[in-house]
């Protein structure tokens, strides 16, 4: 996994919207870069129910239809987590 991706993924997992915004604004970070399991920052947002960061990643070209190595999209990930089923994040993925 590239160091550049790690920074964006960690900021996303920490739900640090200011850092995610700064990284994306720098133009050096691709919101669609995946880790070794094929997870993108949008997958992580879907798992963590981070709707504000999810919106930001989409604004910067994040692909809501990205597939991980098991061919799961962020919508699959969001639906798997019980508390996400009624969250605003799940509706952003349609």
The parent domain of residue 45 ranges over: 3-92
Instruction: Quote the number of domains for the chain.
Output: 1
Give the list of residues 6+ apart from residue 62 with CB closer than 8 angstroms, or none.
31, 32, 40, 41, 42, 54
Domain containing residue 78: CATH number: 1.25.40.20
Q: Over its length of 94 residues, how does the chain's per-residue pLDDT go in tens digits? A: 455 568 999 999 999 999 999 999 999 999 999 988 999 999 998 888 888 999 999 999 999 999 999 998 988 877 766 555 555 555 555 5
Distance, in Å, from the CA atom of 80 to the CA atom of 83, rounded to the nearest integer, reads 9
Q: Tell me the pTM.
A: 0.81
């Amino acid at each position: 996994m590239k160091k550049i991706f790690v920074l964006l993924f960690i900021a996303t997992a920490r739900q640090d919207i200011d850092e995610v915004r700064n990284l994306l604004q720098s133009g050096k970070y691709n919101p669609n870069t995946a880790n070794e399991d094929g997870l993108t920052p949008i997958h992580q947002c879907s798992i963590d129910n981070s709707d504000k960061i999810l919106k930001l990643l989409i604004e910067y070209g994040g692909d809501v239809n990205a597939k991980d190595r098991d061919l799961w999209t962020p919508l699959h990930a969001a639906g798997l987590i019980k508390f996400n089923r009624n969250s605003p994040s799940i509706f952003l993925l349609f």
